[in-house]
Amino acid sequence: MTMSNTGGRRKPPTIHDVAREAGVSRGTVSRVLNGGHYVSPAAAQAVDAAIRRTGYVVNRHARSLITGRSDSVGFLLTEPQERFFEDPNFNVLLRGCTQALAAHDIPLLMMLAGTDDERRRITRYITAGHVDGVLLVSSHSGDPVAEELRAAGVPLVACGKPIGLRSKVSYVAADDRDGARDMVRHLLALGRRRIGVVTGPLDTPGGVERLAGYREVLSEAGVEADERLIVSGDYTRAGGEAGAERLLAQAPGMDAVFVASDLMAQGVLTALHRAGRRVPEDVAVGGFDDSPAAVAASPELTTIRQPWDRISSEMVRVLLAQIGGEDPAAVILPTELVKRAST
Amino acid sequence: MTMSNTGGRRKPPTIHDVAREAGVSRGTVSRVLNGGHYVSPAAAQAVDAAIRRTGYVVNRHARSLITGRSDSVGFLLTEPQERFFEDPNFNVLLRGCTQALAAHDIPLLMMLAGTDDERRRITRYITAGHVDGVLLVSSHSGDPVAEELRAAGVPLVACGKPIGLRSKVSYVAADDRDGARDMVRHLLALGRRRIGVVTGPLDTPGGVERLAGYREVLSEAGVEADERLIVSGDYTRAGGEAGAERLLAQAPGMDAVFVASDLMAQGVLTALHRAGRRVPEDVAVGGFDDSPAAVAASPELTTIRQPWDRISSEMVRVLLAQIGGEDPAAVILPTELVKRAST
DNA sequence: TTCTCTACTGTGAACGCTCACAGAAGCGGC
DNA sequence: GCCGCTTCTGTGAGCGTTCACAGTAGAGAA
């Protein structure tokens, strides 16, 4: 009964083959596979050896069919994908989540819900139980998908604090407000007093929180607030450029700018350069993110580093806990001021 | 028999429920689900209605268990992940593949094989039949993983032409050589004659092919070859900078450079600027990729656009064909010259 | 009428696993 | 001896689907 090796794939060994090979029953093999409780050392060893000899790998479909779990997790990206897909942080996050899940032998399923059609398909897919939980990456949080999935009882962890949701949603986020405070304190320590800010979109938690941190520190320091020093941006390079121009027009005496993202900060640098302002001599510029854009800029950007590697591992940790039955949780992680040439 | 809606997930309807609801047998429902052949219009309609009423979604695990297919595909990234994860093209590719697969209702599983450990785990996972096929993104192609998977009979499509593989591997690639030819012809048409080149790594197909295109056009045009005009780079910004410096030292009379990637071209611009050469007046600079770096550069880069969206959709098409039993195939897609300010 | 062919439908078996349960074996205490 | 308890093992059932097969009904041909 020889079988050709080329072309077709050979039928893989089953738990039954392993049991026969090890001289035990299916049940015993299954117990070894799932933690090894109530198995004699001799049996466990025989099974391990048989698994190695036969090259057995568990059939996840058969397992899932009976357990009801899929042992897989969705990585869901909603809404304006362009913004994310150009964001290098997205890559770090994706990689971190994939690796953290791999350590638990859980595959990550990529899901994009840009259009309404996709959103419906994916919601259906998820609520049908094809994944055990969802890692949600959404920009304008307050996402309807999150609400819907939570209502269906799907374990869910968002990246960044969701705002305006009624149901309780787990999330992991960097401490945006504290990062902003650090940056503005740094600018104050350099002797700057007319500090402008280009915020992120104010329907995002990052936009709101970073601005709040800015206001807090200035008010603590007794610097009078000046709304002309505050403009809002959209996290794009062009938005940063436009924001800086507006600031220069409204508040020519500005001696520093806190920009809510590195990409926007690049635009700010361009605009300042064009206006003949030297950085950092005339105007100090602080970014946020510590993205590759920060070191690509000239001068290199002082910025706030978000702990993306920890964010991803925490997201996975919280999600798995929730799948295991624990309650939703929020995790806020500290940021770090990275000093470079622009301040 | 009411059931709490909050908290636990309700047990989903099965094909049996649908059959009962529609007044037909499981077999008929299954036939409707899988193409609807040999089903009367009346029955098909009744089943469709029942599916809608019950909110039935097929249990993929049960299906996979019996069909032996997983109806899922792996997106495998091997080796130096850093290079890829910083490459915006990676994002476009990932998104394109995800969407193209979604159209066939096939989930994409993210797989990273950076370390040897991961490589082993993933090879095992794949050959165990947990995915039906693999989309391979590998830098230094000639990848051992590709060979191993092909040997195991796993359908596989590589992004970019694999080199030095014994087994026959499908691939989809942009026409690197032709793109290079277009760029060099463009530089010649501008009257440039001392045209330098910063190549990609010469163990990658892109590195080899783009250099070949350069040589071809110059020899066709009767321009004498000068090895001092050729330096090799590594696709990084710093590598581009170093390459340009070497070119300026070896061939000061150079009036154009063809750079094998936009990121390197940014470095080239920096070096030229430092050396006091004006772009494009003194030295014209052509890039490759049309990445965001191309428009971020100043002056904006003339470059070669690779059709990433088509590359991803073709990869999926070829892979699905191969899963369907067709032979491995190679697809080469045309590139496009994008003229901007640097030439 | 009868036979054949096509279009359609229902049924049991099987996919590979886990789970619940029953039972065996060993041990100590009465 | 019997009992209970713990540790370990094997067995049958069943998860939700597809597939092969058997069977029915109706149309058309002989």
pLDDT tens digit sequence for B170-190? 999 999 999 999 999 999 999
Closest partner residue to A95 among B8, B85, B154, by Cβ? Answer: B85
Question: Percent of chain B having pLDDT more than 70?
Answer: 94
Interatomic distance B29 CA / D22 C1' (Å): 19
Nucleotides of C under 7 A from a protein CB: 7-12, 14-21
Given a contact cutoff of 8 angstroms between Cβ atoms, the answer to whether B219 and B250 are in contact is no
Closest partner residue to A109 among B62, B108, B152, by Cβ? Answer: B108
pLDDT for A147 equals: 86
Interatomic distance A314 CA / C17 C1' (Å): 32
Phi/psi of residue B333, nearest 5 degrees = -110, 145
Q: What is the mean pLDDT of residues B320-339?
A: 94
> Which of B51, B54, B91, B295 to probe the A interface (max A CBs under 10 A)?
B91
| C-beta atoms of B102 and A112 within 8 A | yes
Q: Which nucleotide is nearest to B46 (CA to C1')?
A: C9
| C-beta atoms of B6 and A99 within 8 A | no
Nearest chain A Cα to B72, which residue? A109
> Which of B18, B54, B61, B86 to probe the A interface (max A CBs under 10 A)?
B61
| C-beta atoms of A91 and B90 within 8 A | yes
Angle at A334 between CA A333 and CA A340, to 5 degrees: 135
CA distance B288 to chain A (A): 18
How far is Cα B111 from Cα B76, in angstroms, rounded to an integer?
5
pLDDT for B114 equals: 83
Q: What is the mean pLDDT of residues B235-239?
A: 88
Best CA proximity match to A268, nearest among A299, A292, A290, A225? A299
- DSSP codes joined into one string, B204-260: SHHHHHHHHHHHHHHHHTTPPP-GGGEEE--SSHHHHHHHHHHHHHH-TT--EEEES
Q: Which of A88-97, A136-145, B94-103, B237-246 has the lowest mean pLDDT?
A: A136-145
- The overall average pLDDT reported for chain B is 90
Best CA proximity match to B286, nearest among B271, B301, B299? B301
How far is Cα A166 from Cα A151, in angstroms, rounded to an integer?
10
pLDDT at A185 over 90: yes
| C-beta atoms of A85 and B108 within 8 A | no
Interatomic distance B56 CA / C13 C1' (Å): 24
Chain B residues close to A91, C-beta within 8 Å: 85-86, 90-91
Q: What is the mean pLDDT of residues B90-113?
A: 94
Nucleotides of D under 7 A from a protein CB: 7-12, 14-21
Interatomic distance A34 CA / C29 C1' (Å): 35
Question: Percent of chain B having pLDDT more than 90?
Answer: 72
Q: What is the mean pLDDT of residues A2-20?
A: 69
Bridge partners (DSSP) listed for residue B289: B305
Interatomic distance B39 CA / C10 C1' (Å): 13
Model confidence at A22, pLDDT cuts 50, 70, 90, reads very high
Both structure tokens of A32: 């070894």
Q: What is the mean pLDDT of residues A253-277?
A: 94
pLDDT for B141 equals: 57
| C-beta atoms of B153 and A9 within 8 A | yes
Angle at B78 between CA B73 and CA B81, to 5 degrees: 115
Closest partner residue to A129 among B7, B9, B118, by Cβ? Answer: B9
Both structure tokens of B322: 């191969």
How far is Cα B190 from Cα B281, in angstroms, rounded to an integer?
11
Model confidence at A84, pLDDT cuts 50, 70, 90, reads low
Q: What is the mean pLDDT of residues B210-217?
A: 96
| C-beta atoms of B65 and A61 within 8 A | yes
pLDDT for A9 equals: 55
Q: Which nucleotide is nearest to A46 (CA to C1')?
A: D9
pLDDT at B272 over 60: yes
pLDDT at A235 over 70: yes
Interatomic distance A120 CA / C7 C1' (Å): 36
Q: What is the mean pLDDT of residues A123-127?
A: 93
| C-beta atoms of A112 and B128 within 8 A | no
Model confidence at B163, pLDDT cuts 50, 70, 90, reads confident
Bridge partners (DSSP) listed for residue A156: A134
For A36, A170, A253, B96, the CA distances from A186, given in Å and listed in that order, are: 55, 32, 19, 42
Helices (H), A128-261: 144-151, 176-189, 205-220, 237-250
pLDDT for B20 equals: 92
pLDDT for A3 equals: 35
How far is Cα B196 from Cα A133, in angstroms, rounded to an integer?
53
pLDDT at B5 over 60: no
Model confidence at B306, pLDDT cuts 50, 70, 90, reads very high
| C-beta atoms of A9 and B108 within 8 A | no
Given a contact cutoff of 8 angstroms between Cβ atoms, the answer to whether B79 and B122 are in contact is no
pLDDT for A83 equals: 65
Interatomic distance A15 CA / D2 C1' (Å): 40
Angle between helices A205-220 and A176-189 (to 10 degrees): 40
Chain B residues close to A90, C-beta within 8 Å: 91
Chain B residues close to A121, C-beta within 8 Å: 102
Model confidence at A82, pLDDT cuts 50, 70, 90, reads low
pLDDT for A1 equals: 31
pLDDT at B3 over 60: no
The residue whose two tokens read 């479909």 is A61
Q: Which of A143-152, B100-109, B159-168, B321-330 has the lowest mean pLDDT?
A: B159-168
Q: Which of A215-224, B2-11, B227-236 has the lowest mean pLDDT?
A: B2-11
Phi/psi of residue B332, nearest 5 degrees = -115, 125
pLDDT at A27 over 80: yes
Given a contact cutoff of 8 angstroms between Cβ atoms, the answer to whether A36 and A21 are in contact is no
User: For the CA atoms of B116, B121, B126, B131, what is the dihedral angle to 10 degrees?
Assistant: -120
CA dihedral sign of residues B232, B260, B237, B142: negative
Chain A residues close to B92, C-beta within 8 Å: 85
Q: What is the mean pLDDT of residues B123-142?
A: 87
CA distance B127 to chain A (A): 9
Chain B residues close to A108, C-beta within 8 Å: 109-110
pLDDT at A221 over 50: yes
Nearest chain B Cα to A296, which residue? B237
pLDDT for B235 equals: 87
pLDDT for B2 equals: 32
> Which of A61, A86, A116 to probe the B interface (max B CBs under 10 A)?
A61
In the sheet where A73-78 sits, what is the strand order?
A330-333, A170-174, A156-159, A133-137, A73-78, A108-113, B108-113, B73-78, B133-137, B156-159, B170-174, B330-333
- The overall average pLDDT reported for chain A is 90
pLDDT for A53 equals: 93
pLDDT for A296 equals: 77
pLDDT for A11 equals: 81
How far is Cα A265 from Cα A224, in angstroms, rounded to an integer?
24
CA distance B49 to chain A (A): 17
